[in-house]
Chains A and B, each alone.
Chain A
Amino acid sequence: MSRHSKLQKQVLALYRHFLRAARDKPGFVPRIRDEFRENAALKRSDVMHIEYLYRRGVRQLEQLRDANTKQLGSFSRHTKETGNQ
């Protein structure tokens, strides 16, 4: 099994930082996991996209670390049941 590339290590480090930062703030951890798992499906070769997401993640991490960010909730829309949705 090949070792992690530099970019992969960066992403993993970011994930760790996120989880650590989100420990005391309700609601963030599930969403962080969700986002990372979804984007894990990206191909290794799609470096531009990965780097873009990484940069965005760094900015979001800064905001998460800020003392004024308190919690995460969500608004959801569920449509009416129309049979076989």
Chain B
Amino acid sequence: MGKFFRGLLISPGCIKLILNHCKRPLKQRKSPSSVRVSCSAAALRENVISFNHLHLLSVRTVISTQYPVVDHEFDAVVVGAGGAGLRAAFGLSEAGFNTACVTKLFPTRSHTVAAQGGINAALGNMEEDDWRWHFYDTVKGSDWLGDQDAIHYMTEQAPAAVVELENFGMPFSRTDDGKIYQRAFGGQSLKYGKGGQAHRCCCVADRTGHSLLHTLYGRSLRYDTSYFVEYFALDLLMENGECKGVIALCMEDGSIHRFRAQNTVIATGGYGRTYFSCTSAHTSTGDGNAMVTRAGLPCQDLEFVQFHPTGIYGAGCLITEGCRGEGGILINSEGERFMERYAPNAKDLASRDVVSRSMTIEIREGRGVGPEKDHVYLQLHHLPPQQLATRLPGISETAMIFAGVDVTKEPIPVLPTVHYNMGGVPTNYKGQVITYTEGADKVVPGLYACGEAACASVHGANRLGANSLLDLVVFGRACALTIAEEHKPGEKLSPLQPSAGEASVANLDKLRFANGSMRTSEIRLNMQKTMQTHAAVFRTGSVLKEGCDKMDDIYQTMDDLKTFDRGIVWNTDLVETLELQNLMLNAVQTINSAEQRKESRGAHAREDFKVLFFDESKVRHSSGNQGPRVWRKTCEEQNPSCLKSSVKYPQSVMIWGAMFCSSLVFLQTLGP
């Protein structure tokens, strides 16, 4: 099936890691031929390795490097402590499971805190609403690629999820009669698209993600989850296709920790940092996707990278869609509200891929603003200043700090910026990770995923605004519920090889002492610039192919890395290099899948395979023709560009979308 990449570029000959675990005396041990011990007495004693004799290794010789490994046993381990991770962790604790939450950041520093817009839920506070209309909007917004089971689950659970958050203490903005304030957001309509703009995005001014994360964190302290903060998860411990835990590096003291658990939940977030300009934090490095790739499992829909229309030009900071929901408009150099031409009904509140493409076309046709005519303006000064102060205080400040603009007087310069990854670890609607073997979907036992890292796929080819925060809480809870259904707390763990995780530690060691010629930052910049140039809003076959080749070359330069910090305590050079490895895997898979997908769908717009629809009125709802000619592949064949001879390369990405046939049937029954 092609070469499998195991994430490690060690050549087996010269360095071998052995686990000093067993109690057999020296004579019975067969030391492998590649391992030789130097002749000093102390070093000879090193060969006698067992728990009891560990103190004899106290002579710190230069040649020996030791990594202590602490073993932990839990019922469940959650990797990542953002919105989804926290919800899953305390959901599991609530169900009685002994849970560990391993995170490289303190929970309230996860990227969820930066979310601004809101959470969609058909509560019906502003006008009459129904979850089925939300369902329709999400399916349509995903460009018919979303998994309808998952979307059904999410939209039906949405009101309950929001009420639950409110009960946890989340300080939603309120209407005059005390109900949760819901604002208009992109892509939301009433009555299956016929009833005009829907107001169903529940928000907390413009800092919903911040409140959500802090609320969830506060709530999580009630339960007895064990938090392992600032532990960088290196790899999954897989055995016979089953996930048995995680191995992580404690950044504080440099020790390795193996968390053995019956159930592992991946909630590590997206990988915005593969691009030069993105709204994500520096820590959004796609660790979960990379761990899953190294475990030999496929990732889904990675080519769908959402470009948020309004990221500040230059800085890349996000200006929420809520601005447009409150009445903000996008204007070009002629002062024209150009979205009226591209989406006559929805105008500025069309879905994000439509708006991003419109902005890019305006800029390409020369109607951009600024000295280089390379961005557009977002105008808010026509709105009453009180409204700006109450509903959009955060972005007023952001615009002032990052663009030097007073939103009550001047427009904000904006540009489409990478914001979200629709793709990720493929799961079913229950949150169980699935793989595709022998022509069918198969659940990977012991592994679950939720949040941006997962691809359920609720967002399909394009995500609607405010659905992501909903996705986090609903599927975080879903993972916890699925685990509670299938397993019991206190279940005996299946046996694990004592040397599990050896390869990850070998990789770590190799990176720690890397002595090539290229710095981590150089390689990362190369990767980011390549992705930004070759896999942007509009993609062309030839440009993508060139990008794939360039990415291959950049990937090869990873062999030539140079790191500077040789210590093990708080070695941020090492951690950044590990993150770069993860980013590389994501970037390579993204650009290769973009090149392979020869159609335009959602956020993936191909110039040479144009099947685009901007105007909703062009989408026909008759039974035969549900919009554009849709073709999906169920599984990608071997990716020829990966088969370069000496490449230690990930296997090509297996890509498949949702059950297209079933989506046709379902929509027919829903329509008028």
Residues of chain A whose beta carbon lies under 8 Å from any beta carbon of chain B: 26-27, 29-31, 33-34, 37-38, 56, 59-60, 63, 66, 68-81, 85
Contacts and interface: CB of A to CB of B under 8 A. Distances in A.
A33 B64 contact: no
B619 interface: no
A74 B68 contact: yes
B18 interface: yes
Given A76-B64, A77-B64, A37 B69 contact: no
A33 to B, nearest CB: 6
Main secondary structure of the interface of B (DSSP, over half): mixed
Contacts of B505: 75
Interface stretch (B29-37, B296-304, B602-610, B633-641): B29-37
A68 B74 contact: yes
B58 A79 contact: no
B71 A73 contact: yes
B58 to A, nearest CB: 5
B37 A73 contact: no
B19 A78 contact: no
B446 to A, nearest CB: 18
B71 A69 contact: yes
Interface stretch (B45-53, B145-153, B422-430): B45-53
Contacts, number: 114
Given A73-B69, A76-B17, A76-B64, A81 B53 contact: no
Given A33-B55, A69-B72, A75-B505, A81 B36 contact: yes
Given A73-B498, A85-B38, A85-B63, A78 B55 contact: no
B58 A37 contact: yes
Q: Which 10 A-B pairs have the closest CB atoms?
A: A30-B54, A30-B55, A81-B36, A27-B51, A75-B67, A85-B38, A75-B505, A77-B65, A73-B21, A70-B71
Nearest to A77: B65
B226 A79 contact: no
B64 A74 contact: no
Contact of B46 (A37, A59, A60, A78): A78
Nearest to A81: B36
Nearest to A34: B58
B17 A77 contact: yes
A75 to B, nearest CB: 4
A81 B37 contact: yes
Nearest to A66: B226
B661 interface: no
A74 B69 contact: yes
A41 to B, nearest CB: 12
A76 B54 CA distance: 11
B15 A31 contact: no
B493 to A, nearest CB: 10
Nearest to A59: B252
5 contacts: A34-B55, A71-B71, A73-B71, A76-B46, A78-B63
Contact of A74 (B15, B37, B54, B509): B54
A75 B51 contact: no
B72 A68 contact: yes
A72 B253 contact: no
A2 to B, nearest CB: 28
A75 B226 contact: no
A72 B55 contact: no
B125 interface: no
A48 to B, nearest CB: 15
B245 to A, nearest CB: 12
A46 B16 CA distance: 38
Given A78-B35, A79-B15, A81-B37, A72 B509 contact: no
Nearest to B505: A75
Contacts of A34: 54-55, 57-58
Nearest to A71: B71
Interface in B232-263: 252-253, 256
Contacts of A30: 51-55, 57
Which of B71, B253, B502 is most buried by chain A, counting CB atoms within 10 A of its CB?
B71
A31 B62 CA distance: 18
A56 B569 CA distance: 12
Contacts of A73: 19-21, 51, 68-69, 71, 498
